[in-house]
Structures are given as structure tokens and as C-alpha cells.
Structure 1
């Protein structure tokens, strides 16, 4: 099984959620026993609440990390 913290070559590093920017699509992650487990959809923060960009619904977990969302083909 692959390590969830590893992605395609050139993937950006995870950054702490405390410094996440507003108003841009981000990939959020949360701690997992094998590393950071990424969510499978882009998220944005609106008024302090994280939202799934595709569904326009609040994310019901507390993410610990973020990186720029890169669409997957």
C-alpha cells in the first residue's frame, strides 16, 4: 500500500493549517498513522469554516495541514 503522504513527483509539501490562505482552492489533510491523509476534493475557507468546493458543503473534520490543490487527471 502506498504512503498517503507521498504523491506524484514534484508534489508540494504539507504546511500547517494555521497559515492556510483564504479564497483559494486547497488540498486539506489530517493526521493518519502513515502520514498526512489528504481529502479527495478541493476546499476553501469561508468565514472561518472549511467548505468542499465541489459540493459547497462544510467539511466536518478538523484538518491539520494544507497544500495548493492540483487537479487530478
Structure 2
């Protein structure tokens, strides 16, 4: 009999590192970071607005330093119009001071 819990990928029922990071980002969605507005789940991102996006990469959690717009085929840089190949996890409205936001703090 296995001690794995259903729905938790990983070893012996423990969540994988990737899943832990996703859970941490989701938990951070309802707090304000770097003096900006509240983070929202990416599924609720609107079309036609300049947005600040949060992503996870091999170095951890980051807020992009340029505004993006949601389009039918994915995401575009709001300034240049160039397609951006990213898989963001959260969004909030872009504010000029967010340009210096950089990396999100590590989870506590």
C-alpha cells in the first residue's frame, strides 16, 4: 500500500519543488508586494490593458519589468508589440513605479 496522497505529484505523497513554488505563488496572490496593487490569478487577466505579470523561472519568482498586454495568441510587450513567450502565474495593473519592482521576495 502506497502512502502517496492523490493529486500531489512528488515522492511519497510530498509535493514536488515545482508544485511547492506554484502553491507559494498562489498563496502570495492575495497580498501586496513592492508597494503595488494586489496580484490576481492569471486566469482572470483582462484583454486590452497594460499589465504587470509574475512568472516562475529557474531562479524563482519574478515580476516582469515591462508591461504586457493579453492578446488572443498569448502575450505581447505593451510598448513594442513584440510577442513574449511566457507562462505567467499572476497579474496586476501596470503602474510606472512597478518598472523597478524586479524579483518578488522569497516566500516566508
Q: Aligned residue for 1:63?
A: 88
Deviations 1:7-52 (A, max 9, x none): 12xx21111100111111100111368x741100111012141100
Paired residue for 1:13? 38
Q: Helix, strand or coil for the counterpart of 2:96? A: coil
Q: Provide structure 1 residue ranges, at least 5 long, that are not aligned to the other structure.
A: none
Greater relative contact order, per chain length (Cα 8 Å cut-off, separation 6+): 1
1:37 aligned to 2:62? yes
The correspondence of residues 21-32 of structure 1 with structure 2, limited to 5 A, is: 21-31=46-56
Instruction: Give the number of aligned pairs.
Output: 67
Structure 2, unaligned runs of 5 or more? 1-31, 100-108
Larger radius of gyration: 2
- For normalisation by structure 2, the TM-score amounts to 0.53
TM-score (norm 1): 0.75
Q: Over aligned residue pairs, what C-alpha RMSD do you find?
A: 2.5
Q: Greater strand share, 1 or 2?
A: 1
Which structure 1 residue ranges, 4+ long, deviate > 6 Å from structure 2?
none
Q: Which of 59, 67, 72 pairs up with 1:47?
A: 72
